[in-house]
Amino acid sequence: MQLYDAIFIRKSVRSFESAPLDQSVLDGLVDFLSELEAPQGEIDWDFDILSYDDITPILAGPPKLLAPHFLVLRSQKVKGCLQNCGWLGEMAVLWLTAQGVGTCWQGGLECQHDFDGVLPYIVAIGFGRPAEPMRACAEDFDRKALGRLALGDTKGPLRPLLEAARLAPSSMGMQPIRYIVAGNRIHLYRKKPLLPMPQLSYSQCIDAGAAAAHLCAAGKAQGYDVLLERLEPAPEYKKNMLYQMTARCIRSEG
């Protein structure tokens, strides 16, 4: 199964088998993540794969999700780091889904006592063999229609990429990311929260990265090289929309 195919069956799994995954799967995830190039490559990042017992001591409280494994993403805390980790984490989610592994983003965990000498904690993803069915197809998703999320040439050749991004996970299912198609570019924005809620803004920046991961996976399947970049100055849109990044979609040679 390709990453693109995994988009249509991925779900946030809440129930897992307690047995750990085979070491070959964990090694495969390490190899996959190690070969990824983050959208903003100048930002230093790293990851750990921890068991439930190993992640609990670094948190303010034990995870409510009883998953056998947790992917912990760490990064320099600079502009763009949350979008980076959202992209990296969702690429890992799609890879795991393609292996038949269930996943669930854990945005509410608070890291208090991390290991010495590591980059700052950003977010974690629980994963393991699912003890509940995965989705059968895209029709199983409860998502806003594309017309409510995207403007521009949404019926042109980039539509499959937009449809894939529409299925990306988001904090509390709010789908805050908006897409503006301009030629071969898709500009990503997020809706500014009505109230100043730092944790929500934090999570929604990660959401933007996850949506961009779906754009990249779909772009590859549709014959595009998708280059993620942050334009300066930012393309103007509505005042309540915050610019996140731009996906430049170039037809692959051959």
Chain-centroid distance of CA 18 in Å reads 25
Is 49 within 8 Å of 95 (Cβ atoms)? no
Per-residue confidence (pLDDT) for residue 254, from 0 to 100: 57
| pLDDT value of position 35 | 97
Separation CA 178–CA 231 (nearest Å) = 16
Q: Is 139 exposed, middle or buried (0-12, 13-18, 19+ CB in 10 A)?
A: exposed
pLDDT of residue 146: 95
pLDDT of residue 161: 98
- For the record, the structure tokens of 191 come out as 């809706």
Q: What is the DSSP letter of 147?
A: G
Task: Tell me which CATH homologous superfamily contains domain 142-251.
Answer: putative nitroreductase (tm1586), domain 2 (3.40.109.30)
> One-letter amino acid identity for 205?
C
Interval 55-86: pLDDT, tens: 999 999 999 999 999 999 999 999 999 999 99
Backbone angles phi, psi at 151, to 5 degrees: -130, 165
User: What confidence score (pLDDT) does residue 168 get?
Assistant: 97
Query: Residue 51: what pLDDT?
Result: 98
Residue carrying structure tokens 């549709």: 222
Tell me the C-alpha distance between 236 and 139, whole Å: 34
Three-state SS at 125: strand
Angle at 2 between CA 9 and CA 180, to 5 degrees: 75
205: which residues sit within 8 A by CB, 6+ positions away? 82, 83, 86, 190, 244
User: Residue 167's pLDDT is what?
Assistant: 96
Positions of the chain with pLDDT lower than 70, given as ranges:
254
3-state secondary structure of 164: helix
Q: What distance in Å separates the CA atoms of residue 67 and residue 13, rounded to the nearest whole number? A: 9
Using left for φ > 0, alpha for ψ between -120 and 50, and beta otherwise, residue 88 falls in alpha
Distance, CA of 214 to CA of 199 (rounded, Å): 23
State residue 244's pLDDT score.
97
The domain spans of the chain are: 3-128, 142-251
How far is it, in rounded angstroms, from Cα 128 to Cα 150?
A: 34
Give CA–CA dist 127/105, Å, rounded. Answer: 9
The per-residue pLDDT for 209 is: 98
CB 141 within 8 A of CB 167: yes
Q: What angle do CA 215, 240, 247 make, to 5 degrees?
A: 20
How many DSSP H helices and E strands does the chain contain?
Answer: 6, 9
3-128: what fold? NADH Oxidase (3.40.109)
Shared fold status for 3-128 and 142-251: yes
